[in-house]
Amino acid sequence: MTDTLEELAQKTRQTLEEMDMSDQNEAVDKLVESLAKQFEELGSSEDMQSIMDVILRPLLSKEVLHEPMMEFREKYPKWLEVNKAALSVEDFDRYSRQYGYIKELCEVYDTTPDDFPRIVDIVQNMQTCGQPPNDLVEDLAPGMDLGGDNFAFLADILKGSDQNVGHGPSQNCNMM
């Protein structure tokens, strides 16, 4: 696994060195594309599941996600109430399901914060609901734009984990 991580780090360094940093958005896109390609190449590696754990655990930890999820949990019901009439039935259902997953995630963080497989499962389910409403995100994180596919790579990583992240090696990990 160490060799695999070192190879990934080396390829990432090489990609960064080759980038023209004058256009930061393009540079970020190139970096994400490069990382996706590297993950694809590593997808058949038996160490892939360990790499996924190393990458995702910090991103999905209670220390990182609990506070923002609690803020969403607090503000989402009022947002749903205020916006229900303006939403299609499908959007209201999707946002309501997303809110349910947020409540569930907060509950896991409050009771069993080390249950990483459960956290991954909830986040994957939440991701199927799409991005949260832009105006709710703007209220909680001013300046953050989720209108595009800014976080699509995380969704791809979670989907590619075949729901085995935290469960040991996956024989059919189909990254990206």
- Averaged confidence pLDDT in the chain: 75
Q: CA dihedral defined by 85, 86, 89, 93, rounded to 10 degrees?
A: -90
The CATH number of the domain covering residues in 59-160: 1.20.120.900
Please report, as a single letter, which amino acid is at residue 156. D
Window from 17-31, 97-111, 118-132 with minimum mean pLDDT? 17-31
pLDDT at 172 over 60: no
Name the band, by pLDDT with cuts 50, 70 and 90, for residue 116. very high
Domain extents in the chain: 1-45, 59-160
Enter the pTM of the model.
0.60
pLDDT, tens digit, 9 for 90 and up, residues 22-72: 555 566 666 667 766 766 666 555 566 677 777 888 889 999 999 999 999
